[in-house]
Amino acid sequence: MSEIVRPPLQERSRAGWERILDTGLALLEEGGYEALTITEVCRRADVSAPSIYARVDGRLGLFFAVYERGIARVVATEDRAFDRAAGSVERTVEAVVEVFETHAPFLRAVIQHSSFDPRLLERGAAESRRVLDRIVAALPHDREDMVVPVGRMLYTECAFRAMYGERFLSSSPESRQAFTARLTFVARRMLDATD
């Protein structure tokens, strides 16, 4: 199956393709890969199956087109959040939490499906490294030896929360404010630690 998208040329076709991608993203966020079917996209977006097959090769092609739409939205949120973060532990933590919380349904669906799709796992790993680099760049660099471990801690904590929710490790949910405060405290301690 090809992951190539054949972009529409006519305005009407572009509008239909936008509806297809938005509908596909909504289905993926609601029910994961299993919910993203061509039949359901056609029903919800009020398009015909040939209009999807004209753009992608089947369900897998549709999934990767929707994935690219979702990643573009994640990156747009990152751009806004990380513009405010540079050089501050607190603002960097807030940026990472914002990105993962805003896009938790999409990220959850992608992470779950990546365990079944090696190509998606590889793309996800590349995206994760890109985000980690962005986190590390935003943190203060007083302790060069600790910046990457702090970045990994922030990424891992936020990915885990996006995947499993705020109740997974506790019987009572940890609010976003409490979660952000805890991560900020741990990040500061790690960055201030002496050997």
Q: Is the dihedral of CA 167, 168, 171, 176 positive or negative?
A: negative
Residue 4's pLDDT is what?
A: 77
Each residue's pLDDT tens digit, 82-125: 999 988 999 999 999 999 999 999 999 999 999 999 999 999 99
Residue 193's pLDDT is what?
A: 67
CB atoms inside a 10 Å sphere around CB 143: 15
Point out the least confidently predicted range of 44-53, 126-135, 141-150: 141-150
Pairwise CA distance, residues 174 & 119, whole Å:
34
Average pLDDT for the chain: 92
Average pLDDT over residues 135-157: 93
Residue 1's pLDDT is what?
A: 42
Each residue's pLDDT tens digit, 165-175: 988 888 889 99
Write down the CATH number for the domain with range 1-83: 1.10.357.10
Listed by start position, the domains of the chain span 1-83, 84-195
Question: Which residues are within 8 A (CB) of 26 and not within 5 positions of it... i.e. 6 or more apart?
Answer: 44
